[in-house]
Chain A
Amino acid sequence: MSEIADKVKKIVVEHLGVEESKVTPEASFIDDLGADSLDTVELVMAFEEAFNVEIPEDAAEKIATVKDAIDYIEKQKAA
């Protein structure tokens, strides 16, 4: 697993207080990890801070799963 994926996972575990084993790439923040809309905003802000990237609102709306977040950040970091 990439360094970015590891860090994303860690942030999700920390913010949502969920078991690490539940944070699979396919896991949906809202449907599987019990996040509400405020949690997803807080997560996006935590990602922005941790990876020093800006995630605009329209991109943030599309980040529904752990994999979505990893893919988006990896793409930003590669660019």
Chain B
Amino acid sequence: MFKLDGKVALVTGASGGIGGAIAATLHAQGAHVVLSGTRENALQEQVKALGGERVDYVVANLSNPAEADALIAKAEEKAGAPVDILVNNAGLTRDMLALRMKDEDWDQVLNVDLSSPFRLCRAALKGMLRRRAGRIVNIASVVGATGNAGQANYSAAKAGMVGMSKSLAQEAGSRGVTVNVVAPGFIVTPMTDVLPDAQKEKLQSQIPLGRLGKPEDIAAAVLYLCSEEAGWVTGSTLHVNGGMAMI
């Protein structure tokens, strides 16, 4: 089950905690993975960690629309085959209360977290629709459904991603291409490691499964949605949050 032999998977934000785990999981299941990120060193390390076989990387700054538009073609050039699986994982946060949030903070988050995934979906769908096959998994967040003080921009982008994915799922369904969302809860990554222990404990107390999430928890959900076995699942959001929000 869940084998991806012969498939090419592009994972954005692959140098981050969750993106790295997604890439490693898809690779372990047989996919040829193309890692995209902004930090070349981190990507090169990731390539090495995956053993150098069936793995390539493309440096791309997705805040630049032209780079987002070109990424699919570049990934296909590197892999020497069409992208069968697109995982839109790259994202950033600019957290602050709305009263203090500047237009730039809003625009940058919406651009990188919503517009750039759209551009990548658009470019990837072109080939997927023609080939009558493909998987797109967009990584959103639990806050897209629940909201979160200090994250008006991020939660708007992630909620937008869910609506976008449902629309794309309807457009692409007749061609056997699926578009789904994985919405992580609180995951331990280098980004969240810096939070004070007291805050982490408080978060943990709100999670029925009694622990914070691991990147691998997200990667497993992504793998399922990328697989042949998930061929009758589209437009859905898989919440992976330890039960923190049951939606």
Contact = CB atoms under 8 A, between A and B. Distances in A.
Q: For the complex, would chain A's binding face be called helix, strand, loop or mixed by DSSP majority?
A: helix
A45 B126 contact: yes
A38 B129 contact: yes
B199 interface: no
Interface string B171-184: 10011000000000
Contacts of B129: 38, 42
A69 to B, nearest CB: 18
A42 B126 CA distance: 8
8 contacts: A36-B174, A38-B129, A38-B171, A38-B174, A38-B175, A42-B129, A42-B130, A45-B126
Interface string B114-149: 000000000000100110000000000000000000
Nearest to A45: B126
Interface in A34-65: 36, 38, 42, 45
Closest 4 CB pairs of A and B: A38-B174, A36-B174, A38-B129, A42-B129
Contacts, number: 8
A45 B123 CA distance: 12
**Chain A interface residue count: which class?**
under 10
Interface string B36-75: 0000000000000000000000000000000000000000
Contacts of A45: 126
Interface of A: 36, 38, 42, 45
A78 B66 CA distance: 31
Contacts of B171: 38
Contacts of B130: 42
Contacts of A42: 129-130
B19 to A, nearest CB: 30
Interface string B90-121: 00000000000000000000000000000000
A38 B130 CA distance: 10
A38 B129 CA distance: 9
Contacts of A36: 174
Nearest to B175: A38
A42 B175 CA distance: 12
Nearest to A46: B130
A42 B174 CA distance: 14
Contacts of A38: 129, 171, 174-175
B178 to A, nearest CB: 15
Nearest to B130: A42
A1 B130 CA distance: 28
